[in-house]
Amino acid sequence: MPAWNSLSIRRIRVSVGMQWREIWRRGPTLLMIVGLPLLFFLVMYYSSGSYPMPVTVWEKTGTTQVTVNHRTFVALLLATMGMGWGVATAALSSVVGSTARDRRLILCGYQATELMTARLAVLMSIVVILSLFFLIPVQILLGPRSPLLVWLGTLLSGFVAVGTGFVIGSLLPRQLEATIGVIAIFGLEMALAAGQATFERYLPLHFANEVLKAGAFATAPEVVRPILLSLGYGTALFVVATLVWSKRTGLLHRRRVVGRGNSTRFRRKIAGAIALVVLGLVIILAVPTAYEGPLLLYINEQHAIRLVDAMGLAMAVPAWLYLNWYVVRLWARGRKVNNEWPDVG
């Protein structure tokens, strides 16, 4: 194993230990993360009305509308969003207010990807434990068709929520503003998901909720696509958060000083790539079928690629690949720069 690789693992391990100690010092935050989903679930389960309602789920034959109990649907969905709100708040708290400490670690040789990966590992370990704990009352009270998929949907919700918290915490450097941002996003998600609004498909937890609904209500669930889309959504959030956080902590400025790049050019390239990805997704998802032009590729009755979809893919896919390539290049440059800086990890 190369020396730099083992050194990087050691730094991540040390950072994980620091993050765990920081979370344990915040006892109320940890209790909120654990107790909020259970509270949401029990309150919604025992206070919501019990009547049949239609729900669209993903099955192997395509999207299918099934009739479920309103109380079961609302309790299950809002409980996972409560967990998402809790871990997103913990994620932004791990980023906000730690700039000075993180700058010292970076000057000692730590990389942005190492520190953010350590935060992700700690928070995801909490999500895993919390999702298993959450599955117990769900199994007892609701009896979902596929408990494994329900657990997986909860796990994906936590993963995307952590990325959302990272992004908000990186963009908004103050605790109050960042917390309000999390409340706004997840409050909107709760309001729209319970009513199954069309706009809800563009919000962070949409694809994780599709896995959850398929596991709870579908007879022949098809979850490969929503799982991949949810993982991609969470990964994109993590990448964007790492880049923004690197700029805020001065890591990109340090690289510019030692002659390893230009931060202004970097920002323009990243912003351009992200803008093309967003524009391509908006074209693919928002343009009505009637205006999508001639059919290019038929998949099934629910999914087909038309001319406008192809234009959106032509924008989003190359920009997404370029963004990933540029992140890898940045990481490689940071590894070279760190060889010139002392290490105390």
**What tokens does 143 get?**
């009896």
Are 86 and 66 part of one and the same domain? yes
Are 91 and 230 part of one and the same domain? yes
Domain end residue (candidates: 201, 222, 249):
249
Are 224 and 260 part of one and the same domain? no
Q: Confidence class of residue 5 from pLDDT cuts 50, 70 and 90?
A: low
Q: Which long-range contacts (CB under 8 A, 24 or more apart) does 190-195 make?
A: 190/78, 190/81, 193/77, 193/78, 193/81, 194/74, 194/77, 194/78
Give pLDDT tens digits for 141-192: 888 888 888 899 889 999 999 999 888 888 887 777 788 888 888 777 776 6
Are 325 and 244 part of one and the same domain? no
pTM of structure: 0.69
**What tokens does 51 get?**
């009547």
Task: Classify 46 in phi/psi space as left (phi over 0), alpha (psi -120 to 50) or beta.
Answer: alpha
Are 302 and 337 part of one and the same domain? yes
Are 206 and 317 part of one and the same domain? no
Are 259 and 213 part of one and the same domain? no
Angle between helices 70-95 and 175-195 (to 10 degrees): 160
Are 290 and 244 part of one and the same domain? no
Structural domain boundaries, residue 313: 254-345
Domain end residue (candidates: 249, 274, 305):
249
> Number of folded domains in the chain?
2
Are 235 and 296 part of one and the same domain? no
- Looking at the DSSP bridge assignments, the partners of residue 54 are 67
Give pLDDT tens digits for 273-325: 787 787 777 777 766 665 566 666 666 555 667 777 777 788 788 888 887 77
Are 44 and 178 part of one and the same domain? yes
Write down the mean pLDDT value for the chain. 76
Are 231 and 343 part of one and the same domain? no
Q: Confidence class of residue 99 from pLDDT cuts 50, 70 and 90?
A: low
